[in-house]
Amino acid sequence: GAVVSQHPSRVICKSGTSVKIECRSLDFQATTMFWYRQFPKKSLMLMATSNEGSKATYEQGVEKDKFLINHASLTLSTLTVTSAHPEDSSFYICSARDLDGLYWGYTFGSGTRLTVV
Partner 1 sequence: AQSVTQPDIHITVSEGASLELRCNYSYGATPYLFWYVQSPGQGLQLLLKYFSGDTLVQGIKGFEAEFKRSQSSFNLRKPSVHWSDAAEYFCAVGTVSNRDDKIIFGKGTRLHILP
| Shorter beta-carbon distance to partner 1: residue 24 or 97 | 97
Distance CA 44, CA 47 (A): 9
Where does this chain touch partner 1 (CB under 8 A) — which range of 11-19, 41-49, 61-69, 77-85? 41-49
Within positions 89 to 108, which residues make up the interface with partner 1, using CB under 8 A?
A: 91, 93, 95, 97, 103-108
Minimum CB distance to partner 1, residue 114 (Å):
13
Q: Does 43 bind partner 1 (CB under 8 A)?
A: yes
* Total chain residues near partner 1 (CB under 8 A): 24
Q: Does 111 bind partner 1 (CB under 8 A)?
A: yes
Angle at CA of residue 77, ends 114 and 111, nearest 5°? 35
DSSP string, 35-103: EEEE-TT--EEEEEEEETTS--EEPTT--TTTEEEEEEETTEEEEEE-S--GGG-EEEEEEEEEEETTE
CA-wise closest residue to 22 among 88, 90, 74, 70: 70
Q: Does 6 bind partner 1 (CB under 8 A)?
A: yes
Binding site for partner 1 (CB under 8 A): 6, 31-32, 34, 42-44, 46, 49, 51, 91, 93, 95, 97, 103-111, 113
